[in-house]
Amino acid sequence: MNGVPEELFAAARAWLAQDPDPQTRDELSHLIAQAQADDATAASELLDRFSHRLAFGTAGLRGALGAGPNRMNRVLVAQAAAGLAAYLRERSTPGETPVVVVGYDGRRNSDVFARDSAEIFAGAGLHAVLLPRMLPTPVLAFAVRHLGAAAGVMVTASHNPPQDNGYKVYLGGADDGAQIVSPADAEIAAHIQAVADRGDIGTIPRSVGYANAAEEVVDAYVAATAAVAPATAGAAGLKWVYTAMHGVGWETLRAILATAGYPEPTVVAEQIEPDGAFPTVAFPNPEEPGAMDLAFETARAVGAELVLANDPDADRMAVAIPDASADGGWRRLSGNEVGLLLGRRAARAAAGVPGASLACSLVSSPGLQAIAERYGLDFHATLTGFKWISRAPGMVYGFEEALGYLVNPGTVRDKDGISAVVALLDLAAQARAEGSDLQGRLDDLREEFGAFASDQISIRVADVSQIAGMMASLRADPPSHVGGSAVSRIDDLLTGVDDLPPGDVLRVWLDDGARLIVRPSGTEPKLKMYLDVHGSSDQEARERLAALADGARALLAERR
């Protein structure tokens, strides 16, 4: 039957028998019937859903909603919750009852997956705590530490497409509320697989005896985040625009603004309330073209000085400033530009503190190292992701170029787009008080440290195996030149470099000081290339970056 083996049909029927969700049961029943009737499209879909399983790793789980082990659904989430519970019980000391806190955002089924998880954790004898309503990811990360939890689960797919959802895991104790890393991911995955192999989630014990977190948890996060940067005189009268990108950031941010003393923004009304359908954007990611168009339209209408945006779970922040030369009069700052602005803010505050360090992912701007050195701080480059950045020794500030910033590591050990908003408002207020603005602060950075310019090239693929093929080709036949410059060295992080954990990353150094980094995306079917140059002026840096980008595109075209 269209190449679908009978054992796969048997697996689909077994999945159907244990699925508690009427919607995915109907979906799968129809798919099985169509595939048995020799519908080629249905057969292909069935193969995709049952020939593979969403892998549980350091990013947890993330994928499209739907029936089957290669989709996000109630069966998969139940298996994940039961596996995590078994892992936590295994790690606990005799007589200990581990605490697990669960949060969720406004995506489709996030609340359902969260309640299922809380019931399964409680059924496993853990003390399960469910956050009181849909809330930002940083609130969940905060709650893990605040409640002294052994683990936390956030149901979110962050800025992924609307059809996706995900399951992100944090660990307490020695991990201090950070996201999981190896070997915990593999150990949890083994427990999840053992649950899946038993074959019926209906046998997993459940209990409604979980606790609902008190509002005090949210209040404590609000107070701690407002304390990041209470408003100064320059904040009075600041005109700014904010969008939540159909996510859950606004309610919490609004309370923090009131506590810290900042003026409320003009909000993008069409995007301010949570809506898992994300009706005004194709991709609910501030980095994507068009995602901030409504924010710019609002800013033009009110004569704003600044636009700030959170992604749907509010762990990232985007910044835009007026720019007469830009299309529409507004320019979104790159993650590196914002990262360096906030990095210098942190460096000034930490100067002279023994052991204090700045940290960023190795694909982020090398300008942060220059700032750390200027202010006498240590510096750490880590693998991509805040699961690594948050573990940098002595870290007082960390960032990654993909709009992630950690400005308050004493409160949250993960990127936090809400505290980043507060820190950015503080920068804007200080600049206003001195008769300047954020563009002026960027000019100050260039004068002090030179012009750092960065770019990113992404290749989206339909088949993720293409990414592995391109990486293998670059390793087997490494380039000798990129963009007219000779390659001086290539670091292959699979073998371990500079005390970094192994990773599927190639770092290419050119003899003119430029840098090119190639790696697969951790959350999307993309191959990413990161380009960095340093020049004495903006014009020189732009010219060098353009040449490097042309060379990088040509290199990718050869390997596809």
**Of 158, 361, 454, 485, catalytic:** 158
pLDDT in tens, 463-521: 888 898 899 999 999 999 998 889 999 999 988 777 788 889 999 999 988 999 999 88
**Cβ atoms of 505 and 518 closer than 8 Å:** yes
Region for 3 from its dihedrals, namely left if φ exceeds 0, alpha if ψ lies in -120 to 50, beta otherwise = left
**CATH 2.40.50.180 for the 56-213 domain, yes or no:** no
pTM: 0.94
Q: Sign of the C-alpha dihedral, residues 264, 270, 271, 272?
A: positive
**CATH 3.40.120.10 for the 219-323 domain, yes or no:** yes
| pLDDT score for 525 | 81
∠ CA(168), CA(59), CA(119), 5° rounding?
A: 25
Polymer length in residues for the chain? 560
SS3 sequence, 371-383?
Answer: HHHHCCCEEEEEC
Give percent of the chain with pLDDT exceeding 70. 99
**Cβ atoms of 196 and 56 closer than 8 Å:** no
Q: Which residues contact 350 (CB under 8 A, 6 or more apart)?
A: 356, 375, 377, 396, 397
CATH class held by domain 451-559? alpha beta
**Cβ atoms of 378 and 391 closer than 8 Å:** no
pLDDT in tens, 366-411: 999 999 999 999 999 998 899 999 999 999 999 999 999 999 999 9
CB neighbourhood size of 268 (10 A): 25
286, two tokens: 């501030």
pLDDT in tens, 91-122: 999 989 999 999 999 999 999 999 999 999 99
Fold agreement between 56-213 and 219-323? yes
Separation of alpha carbons 405 and 399, rounded Å: 4
* Amino acid identity, position 301: A
R_g over Cα of the chain? 24
Tell how strand 127-130 and strand 99-104 pair up: parallel
| 158 noted as active-site residue | yes
DSSP helix, strand, coil percent of the chain (3-state; round to 5): 45, 20, 35
Tell me which DSSP letter residue 309 carries: E
∠ CA(249), CA(251), CA(257), 5° rounding?
A: 95
Q: Is the pLDDT of residue 8 over 80?
A: yes
Domain residue extents for the chain: 1-51, 56-213, 219-323, 451-559
